[in-house]
Chains A and B, each alone.
Chain A
């Protein structure tokens, strides 16, 4: 991601530094898409000022990279992103949002909608890396038409002082999704809300959360699967409390209004096992290295 050559959309503070398009993929500033394609307006949460519009019209054979950065003091980003994947296209997208140094007091406010048309498939790895003084609020919605497939992983190992995340997926017939949230909080306040709505027959959805709380962190994590049609869903939420100055609140919620649906959940909050620590220390790792390895393993899903 650090190699600018490979980035298809690069925004630094408020300025778009790089934007890519070819005959199969169109990337525009969202404000321009709003003007140029009136059909996009129904998808945007509001009239966009910043952000990208990504339209994958035909199958491409390369992954797409987006990068949004803050590197100036007190920058407030207000992004409206929209991605539309036409029928049957199958793409990988890597998104990165971060601040480049501490004491910038940045605010990254981002809303995005991803529309996966019939049979489309999206593998999206979304990484956030911030500094303690930043604030982040992000809301993402995924609309999966028939037979569409989403594999979304949200990773934040450098969580800012305050972060609020919401990921929501709505699934039509035969669509499937897997949403993973991997979060390592150090002295942060984190609220995360992942929701999967199984609206279509034979749709299936999974939510996996791995949350680490350390150094006076507070994590509120809600996850929810709603089964409205004959469908399958599973919630898997695990928290790891590294020290007693932190707190994790996990609320898994299953709502079923179709008697043929199968939705299940597993949730737990644990601590680092003393036995694991002792084991790794007999392998020559000091306590800090051992804790770090255990945490990395826990977050590796």
Chain B
């Protein structure tokens, strides 16, 4: 097992956000995590990548190693990469410079955003491209894409999905897609879909089309009321 999350509970000072998550992903697998806004998906992504601002209990194992208390930079070195939903701007630091910092290599691609300050005045689409460049530079084993589909039109989403397939999935990299629209799953066909509501995973299903159809028709509430509904419809 590449990643195994056991009974993960996450708190901030004010409240409990994740209420006992169990999750597994093997090498080369594609896992989708669907859920409405504020269900805890992004918190899970941050916690998996090592964000230090949360109080965490339970276990996170990566390649069998307990990484629950490991620093974010060490997780990145192990091969865990997070594509941020709303990455912050780093003024005065060119994207090309950051990429060089990440993997020590010069980038030989001619693209306008490489010469611009990281995420500064980037459009939604440019932010996603920038995230993708950084992810590839990290040479990861597991990538968590937090809302890679937000801010991208259908054509761009197709293009980004192609790159993810070619550069990551086909090379055996495990991928977790976090989304609340699910559109991206049409292009990336996950092996398993998890639905998260209120800080819990309430449904796991191999056929993403069924889950997607249920959510489209009845919303996440149906999954909440009848956790197994998606697999029965």
Contacts and interface: CB of A to CB of B under 8 A. Distances in A.
Interface string A263-301: 000000000011110111111111101000110111111
Interface residues of B, number: 27
Given A275-B88, A297-B117, A282 B81 contact: yes
A273 B87 CA distance: 12
A236 B160 CA distance: 39
A281 B53 contact: no
A280 B90 contact: yes
A86 B49 CA distance: 60
A62 to B, nearest CB: 28
Interface string B105-143: 000000000000100000000000000001000100000
A279 B73 contact: no
B51 A278 contact: yes
B28 to A, nearest CB: 22
Majority-rule SS of B interface residues: mixed
A293 B76 contact: no
A294 B90 contact: yes
B154 interface: no
Majority-rule SS of A interface residues: helix
Q: Among the interface residues A278, A282, A284, A286, which one has the most CB atoms of the partner chain B within 10 A?
A: A282
Given A278-B52, A279-B84, A281-B50, A286 B90 contact: no
Interface string B205-227: 00000000000000000000000
Given A274-B53, A278-B51, A293-B101, A283 B76 contact: yes
A282 B50 contact: yes
Contacts of A297: 90-93, 117
B90 A281 contact: no
Contacts of B88: 273, 275-276, 279
Nearest to A284: B76
B93 A300 contact: yes
A282 B72 contact: yes
Given A281-B76, A282-B49, A298 B92 contact: yes
B92 A300 contact: yes
Given A279-B84, A281-B50, A297-B117, A286 B92 contact: no
B60 interface: no
A294 B90 CA distance: 7
Contacts of B101: 283, 285, 289, 293
B77 interface: yes
Contacts of A285: 73, 101-102
Given A281-B50, A281-B73, A283-B98, A296 B92 contact: yes
Interface string B39-83: 000000010011111000000000000000001110111000110
A284 B73 contact: yes
Nearest to A294: B90
B93 A279 contact: no
A280 B88 CA distance: 10
The 7 closest A-B pairs by CB, nearest first: A297-B92, A300-B92, A284-B76, A297-B93, A281-B72, A275-B88, A281-B73
10 contacts: A275-B88, A278-B51, A278-B72, A282-B72, A282-B75, A282-B84, A283-B76, A283-B134, A297-B117, A299-B92
Interface of A: 273-276, 278-287, 289, 293-294, 296-301
Given A283-B73, A283-B101, 4 more contacts: A282-B49, A282-B76, A283-B134, A297-B91
